Copies of this chain bind each other. A is one copy, B any other.
Amino acid sequence: MFKTLNNDPNAMQKGRRTVFIVSDATAITADTLAHSVLTQFSEFEYDQHRLPFVDTEEKALAVANRINEVYEATGVRPIIFSTFINQEVDAIFTSECKAFRIDLFRSFIQELEQEIGLKSAHSMGRSHVIADQERYNRRIEAINYTLAHDDGQMNKGLNEADVILVGVSRSGKTPTSLYLAMQFGIKAANYPLIPEDFDRGELPEVLQTMRHKLFGLSIAPERLSQIRNERRPGSRYASITNCTQEIAAAENMMRREGIKWLSSTTRSIEEISATILAELKLNNAEMV
């Protein structure tokens, strides 16, 4: 079960820890939290186990025992990142576990209860929060919308888009659109800018009345050439000359048309998406 630890006799000496990400639901929030916190410690070495759906006292006791066994075997306290709604489960970890625990809900929810004078579902003993069904449906609808409006494949319904990403082929439009849909429920269409558009010197006609919701992605020619070469090695399409020309033409067009844009070269999808939301003031986001 603890393969890495058992196989590595130096684990203890190096102070290598075992991290448990545990939740009575999906453990995705706890995982995000753990990742955000642990990336702050570049020298920290650890083995990680993710245990979702620990939602009964029986499962909680089994996990607590397992964690205690790690403590006994390694001599250092395991680290737990948890998000428990179920109070019985939470109590078992508090009383039974010889570990260092960071629980998102325990600390923040208690503080917030005091601040706003309301009881949380947690305090009321509700083990399942009623999901935010409307928000969820909006996300699913956005994903379907984005898939149907990827790469300019459907003009119908473009007027429903929250944002339409434009840019040359392989500039990062598709992953960004999907992230916007999935994470934020944003209907993100994307539309390629192609050599014919540059020759004509005009935006594709269907986009001309939608300038206010266009957002451009550009990319360094060298990086674009590299990406295109993976798909079509040695092609004119992938050549640095062609990529340089297309990028210059696309950036000119975006400047001329007053379209906000950024370069995706050194930015993550999360950074690009957060910037787009803030620039277009979507989902309560704003650029300061």
Contact = CB atoms under 8 A, between A and B. Distances in A.
A37 B116 contact: no
A48 B274 contact: no
A183 to B, nearest CB: 7
Contacts of A33: 29, 33, 104, 108
Contact of A50 (B118, B130, B268, B277): B277
A220 interface: no
B107 A53 contact: no
B52 A129 contact: no
A277 B278 CA distance: 33
A60 to B, nearest CB: 9
Contacts of A277: 50, 52
Contacts of A117: 15
A104 B37 contact: yes
A112 B274 contact: no
A70 to B, nearest CB: 14
Interface residues of A, number: 78
A105 interface: yes
Given A42-B121, A121-B42, A275 B115 contact: no
Nearest to A114: B100
A10 to B, nearest CB: 17
A30 to B, nearest CB: 9
Given A26-B274, A52-B275, A140-B269, 14 more contacts: A17-B116, A25-B271, A32-B32, A33-B33, A39-B129, A40-B109, A41-B118, A50-B284, A51-B285, A52-B274, A63-B288, A79-B116, A131-B268, A178-B178
